[in-house]
Amino acid sequence: MQLKSRQKVLLRSLTVGAVVALVAPVMMPVAVGSMVEKTPQAKKASSAAALTIRGATFDRIAQQTVLQVNPQSGNLRTITAALQQAGPGTVIALAPGNYGAGETFPLQLKEGVTLKGNDGQQGAGVVITGGGQHISRTFARQNVTIVLGANSQISGITVTNPNTRGTGIWVEDVKASISNSTLINNNREGIFVAGTAAATIESNKFMNNAANGVSVAGEAAGEIRNNLFEQTGFGVAVGGKATTAVTNNQIRGNRSGIVITNSARPMVQGNTIENNRDYGVVALDRAMPGMGNNIFRGNGQQDSLLVNGGGGMQTAAVEPPPPPVEGNSQGAKFSCIQMSNGYATVAEKGSTAIPQPMIMWTRTNLGPELTPERRCQIVTDRLNRLLANNGGNMDNLLFTIGTVSNQMVVCLVRDRATGCQSDNLLFTLSQQNASNATEVLKSLIAFTVTGEGAPVFESEDSEDSGQPYAALSEIDDKLQTETGLWFAAP
């Protein structure tokens, strides 16, 4: 049968039971009802071609919806309005401008939604400012700018939450990504990752956040890579049982670079950690960070402070301190740890306060039985024992100096009526220090590894005839919960 030169409709039964109408210009005669025998190669090619039109095997091309938002003009002037229209796969493209007035915070990104601004300049000119109440599954009521849904993405925006305890971006129990953005001037942290979240946080800038750049809690995973953390409290704080990888970041000019607590086991690798005011890396409690190929430079006190854990860097605890005394409301205790310039007795208080180096042990000329490490252990044990004998209460304990067995000593007394005795002696003073014992006492709890700085407390009134004292309770005041560790289990 010959087909006319116009158009013919060919109906053909498909193997999947569907019937498709093909309308096409006819270029040549086609035989209907019988098939011409083909070579095996031709059969194979024909079959492959047929797969492209058969109903069960169509390759659907997902249509991506793009919603343009401009705070100055157009139909969509707020992110809130765009989110009401957005579904999975929607891209909300933000024009330059300030997004705050007219928005309903927190902005809730639904599953699969992308919020996109100025990728090339880390969100410059695309500024979202504000925050609102978010009820977290784990942390109850929070103040947040943006909450991410499953498989949602953020790129190229600037986020600021100036509200009390304000968090910029909240990621909990979902997989999500944040890239090429700036988190600045948030009243707590730039990004909070919680629960079982797996967040990829890449190529962002964190500056001037009050607590942390990024906080990670719960059993969160994911990766924090290729970011800049600068002048932002703690650069990264990790707690809970999180295993987040912290890799190839620039972490500089913060209070401390990375603080790890609880039972967290992050991998910390390939970072440049420099010029932080206190420490490069701090590991507390049972934290066991894995460390590799990091560059440390110019950190104020030292590169790392590892107390009671630090399994990833086994230079941490020399000898675990006794457990906190039952009924000790303050929970403070003392540990002997190895630091970059020797051994130190440090005061610590749980998993939410940064330990404070108190006594450095550097003298090496006292014989093999009294190495710096051994003296550190002895005095640390004495401090913990005296604290336990006082019911775990620091309030009425005082450092002072006196003479025991004709040697000038530092001791810990319960009141000013009690002098130095063998049962409250902490350590003897060298001849040089004995000649300036008051200055030694003044620096004892100054809380710097070099023993410099203003004394916490000193009394030299006439009633004590010049006898100096330093209150141990002042140590507890220095060991309060860090804002940057608000989420950590105590």
The predicted-structure confidence for 5-44, as pLDDT tens digits, reads as follows 443 333 333 333 333 333 333 333 333 333 333 333 433 3
Q: Which two tokens stand for residue 432?
A: 């040089």
pLDDT at 473 over 90: no
Q: Tell me the domain boundaries of the chain.
A: 66-317, 343-479
pLDDT at 184 over 60: yes
For 405, other C-beta atoms within 10 Å of its C-beta total: 8
Look at 6 and 164; give whichever has higher pLDDT. 164
> For the domain 66-317, what is the CATH superfamily, name and number?
Single-stranded right-handed beta-helix, Pectin lyase-like (2.160.20.10)
Half-sphere exposure of 289 (CA within 13 A, CB side): 32
Mean pLDDT, the chain, integer? 80
Look at 227 and 15; give whichever has higher pLDDT. 227
- What own/partner pairs with CB < 8 Å and gap ≥ 24 does 58-67 have? 62/89, 64/89, 64/90, 64/91, 65/89, 65/90, 65/91, 66/90, 66/91, 66/93, 67/91, 67/92, 67/93
Task: Summarize pLDDT for 84-102 with one digit per residue, the tens.
Answer: 999 999 999 999 999 999 9
The DSSP letter of residue 370 is: G
3-state secondary structure of 148: coil
Bridge partners, 67 (sequence order): 92
pTM: 0.78
Residues 6+ apart with CB under 8 A from 165: 142, 143, 187, 188, 486
Instruction: For the chain, give the percent of residues with pLDDT over 90.
Output: 54
The per-residue b/e assignment along 59-70, b for 16 or more CB within 10 angstroms, e otherwise, is: eeeeeeeebebe
Strand ranges inside 298-395, DSSP E: 302-306, 317-319, 332-339, 342-349, 356-361
- Please give the backbone phi and psi of residue 175, each rounded to the nearest 5 degrees, phi first: -95, 130
Confidence of residue 208 (pLDDT cuts 50, 70, 90): very high
Distance, CA of 85 to CA of 75 (rounded, Å): 12
Task: Summarize pLDDT for 481-490 with one digit per residue, the tens.
Answer: 899 999 998 8
